[in-house]
């Protein structure tokens, strides 16, 4: 697989290059570029199978690069790199059809998994192309190329379409999109079979499926009247779909002026499907309905965010669940822009992740943050938003259960209990060993063996976590927190705290509250 790296920071470019060599020595790095404009020339010259690009770059950013490639009909897989806070950039990148979206800092596991998925896609596409060359001349193939933005219209193609399908290049066409979500794999074949029963007296249509987006598209042409088409879909086609899928599907209808506008129409309608989040169930989504909606300004609920922090600090799983539900209810309380709802959900997720991570209440290394955020950003239904939120809730719940159920000996349990009881009095290993009637040497070795960290490290981390809890969950002054956690000097506590977390106590409080 030929790969081009487009990233404005030299250190990151080199880091990605070295990582690729470690993952698979057969990967061929055909070139590197430090901005989108240089990257575009590199892609045109070297024709890589895959580009790895940053979003924010000088001269031409990553999104402009992707858009230029799309408009030029250049087909190349893309992995986009971005910071978590760049929500709108991520959303736009996904709408431009990027293969993978990876958050910085990049982990080898995330990059390796993304590369494996892309390589499989490339191999499968090559196989299909080799086995079915005639499909390039079928209407479905022509429509797919048009939707992907890489269809070149020639006089011979125009004549072919008119002769074979009575389809004029500039005639008005319709797009009917059906979003199936997680039901796609189980229902797609039944749905396609039913859709083939649609009456063709008023129009012709072709059925296309996009498994990566969980969407089925009907491209409608040779229409008698678009108003009649709209009525027919509302009165008949939707009921055909409901005979296969009771609910949990979303649908929309749009029209465009000709084959060359098909891609724009498909992407435009796809972006409007998210309005399902604020519409009455069963509404046919179209531009007229969306444009006439009276949406309210979304005000992020800081009070709910503070409640989730307090609940996590107190390790109150029941309260965490209650606040999650409260946040969801707030998002559903008015008609808001779907983009604003999803952005709020992303911010809420990051608050949960950061707070729990700082208090060691979340197995962060085992949590697929990218999947959670992508699920929110691309959500079309509330069920998908809820799934993302409850991945986090379940992770916090499981983490607390594991903490309560970890297997250690009675001696170490008693030692931990004494640390928790006397940590604010400066108790040491010798004193606890004496209380347990064992030697300090034996306790130290056994404690490290069973908990994975030394007695002193455990005590220090426990005390620092108590400081974090008080910083986030109370309004106490730093010197008061120092007294409550066993530090005789608040300056010394601040020094230890910064060595452990990288922040002074007040800076930490501002950052996570």
- Give the pLDDT confidence of 176-205 residue by residue, as tens digits: 999 988 888 888 998 888 888 887 778 999
- Give the pLDDT confidence of 57-103 residue by residue, as tens digits: 888 888 888 888 877 778 889 888 876 556 666 667 666 667 787 87
Angle between helices 262-272 and 139-147 (to 10 degrees): 70
Every domain of the chain and the residues it spans = 2-131, 134-291, 302-405, 410-512
CATH topology for 134-291?
A: Alpha-Beta Plaits (3.30.70)
Tokens of 312: 């996590």
Taking CA atoms, 279 is separated from 247, 251, 328, 334, 459, in Å, by: 14, 12, 16, 11, 53
CATH topology for 410-512?
A: Arc Repressor Mutant, subunit A (1.10.10)
Q: For the chain, how big is the Rg over CA atoms in Å?
A: 28
Count H helices, E strands: the chain? 24, 9
Q: How sure is the predictor about 402, in pLDDT bands with cuts at 50, 70 and 90?
A: very low
pLDDT at 135: 47
> At CB < 8 A and 24+ separation, what contacts does 470-476 make?
471/505, 471/508, 471/509, 471/512, 472/309, 472/310, 472/313, 472/355, 472/358, 472/359, 472/509, 472/512, 472/513, 473/309, 473/310, 473/313, 473/314
Among 304, 290, 380, smallest CA distance to 335 is for 290
Q: How sure is the predictor about 401, in pLDDT bands with cuts at 50, 70 and 90?
A: very low
Q: What is the pTM of this model?
A: 0.59
- Give the pLDDT confidence of 329-340 residue by residue, as tens digits: 999 999 999 999
Residue with tokens 């009675």: 410
Average pLDDT over residues 15-19: 89
Among 411, 408, 423, 395, smallest CA distance to 493 is for 423
Question: Pairing mode, if any, of strands 77-82 and 204-210?
Answer: unpaired
Q: Which CATH number fits domain 2-131: 3.30.565.10, 3.20.20.220, 3.40.50.2300, 3.60.40.10?
A: 3.40.50.2300
- Give the pLDDT confidence of 405-451 residue by residue, as tens digits: 455 687 888 888 888 888 888 788 999 999 888 999 999 998 888 88
Q: In which region does residue 171 sit, left (phi positive, over 0), alpha (psi from -120 to 50) or beta (all else)?
A: beta
- Give the pLDDT confidence of 90-129 residue by residue, as tens digits: 667 666 667 787 877 777 888 888 898 888 888 877 776 6
Q: In this structure, how many other beta carbons lie within 10 angstroms of the beta carbon of residue 316? A: 14
pLDDT at 405: 46
Contacts (Cβ under 8 Å, ≥6 apart) of 59:
35, 36, 37, 38
Residue with tokens 């309380």: 333
pLDDT at 131: 57
């Amino acid at each position: 697989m030929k790969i081009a790296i487009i990233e404005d920071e030299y250190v990151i470019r080199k880091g990605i290059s070295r990582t690729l060599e470690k993952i698979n020595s057969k990967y061929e790095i055909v070139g590197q570029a430090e901005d989108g404009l240089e990257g575009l020339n590199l892609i045109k010259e070297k024709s890589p199978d895959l580009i790895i690009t940053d979003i924010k770059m000088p001269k031409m950013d990553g999104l402009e690069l992707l858009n230029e490639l799309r408009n030029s009909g250049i087909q190349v897989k893309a992995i986009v790199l971005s910071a978590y806070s760049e929500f709108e950039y991520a959303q736009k990148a996904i709408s431009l059809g990027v293969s993978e979206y990876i958050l910085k800092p990049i982990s080898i596991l995330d990059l390796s998994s993304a590369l494996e998925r892309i390589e499989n896609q490339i191999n499968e596409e090559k196989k299909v192309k080799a086995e079915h060359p005639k499909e390039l001349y079928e209407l479905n193939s022509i429509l797919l190329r048009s939707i992907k933005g890489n269809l070149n219209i020639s006089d011979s193609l125009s004549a072919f379409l008119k002769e074979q399908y009575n389809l004029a290049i500039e005639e008005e066409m319709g797009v009917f999109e059906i979003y199936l979500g997680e039901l796609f794999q189980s229902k797609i074949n039944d749905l396609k079979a039913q859709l083939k029963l649609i009456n063709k007296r008023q129009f012709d249509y072709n059925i296309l499926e996009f498994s990566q987006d969980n969407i089925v598209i009907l491209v409608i042409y040779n229409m008698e009247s678009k108003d009649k088409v709209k009525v027919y879909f509302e009165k008949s086609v939707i009921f055909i779909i409901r005979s296969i899928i009771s609910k949990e599907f979303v649908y929309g209808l749009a029209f465009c002026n000709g084959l060359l506008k098909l891609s724009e129409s498909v992407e435009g309608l796809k972006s409007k499907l998210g309005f399902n989040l604020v519409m009455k169930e069963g509404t046919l989504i179209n531009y007229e309905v969306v444009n006439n909606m009276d949406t309210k300004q979304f005000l992020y609920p800081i009070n709910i965010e503070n409640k989730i922090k307090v609940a996590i600090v107190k390790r109150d799983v029941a309260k965490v669940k209650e606040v999650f539900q409260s946040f969801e209810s707030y998002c559903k309380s008015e008609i808001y822009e779907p983009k604003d709802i999803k952005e709020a959900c992303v911010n809420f997720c990051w608050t949960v992740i950061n707070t729990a991570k700082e208090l060691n209440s979340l197995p962060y290394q085992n949590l697929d943050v990218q999947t959670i955020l992508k699920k929110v950003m691309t959500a079309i239904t509330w069920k998908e938003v809820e799934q993302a939120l409850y991945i986090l809730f379940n992770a916090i719940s499981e983490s607390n259960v594991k903490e309560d159920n970890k297997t250690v000996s009675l001696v170490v349990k008693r030692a931990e209990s004494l640390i928790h009881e006397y940590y604010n009095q400066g108790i040491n290993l010798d004193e606890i060993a004496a209380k347990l009637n064992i030697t300090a040497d034996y306790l130290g070795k056994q404690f490290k063996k069973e908990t994975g960290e030394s007695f002193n490290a455990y005590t220090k981390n426990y005390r620092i976590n108590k400081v974090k809890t008080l910083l986030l969950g109370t309004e106490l002054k730093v010197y008061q927190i120092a007294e409550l956690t066993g530090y005789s000097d608040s300056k010394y506590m601040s020094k230890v705290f910064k060595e452990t977390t990288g922040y002074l106590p007040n800076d930490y409080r501002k950052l996570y509250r």
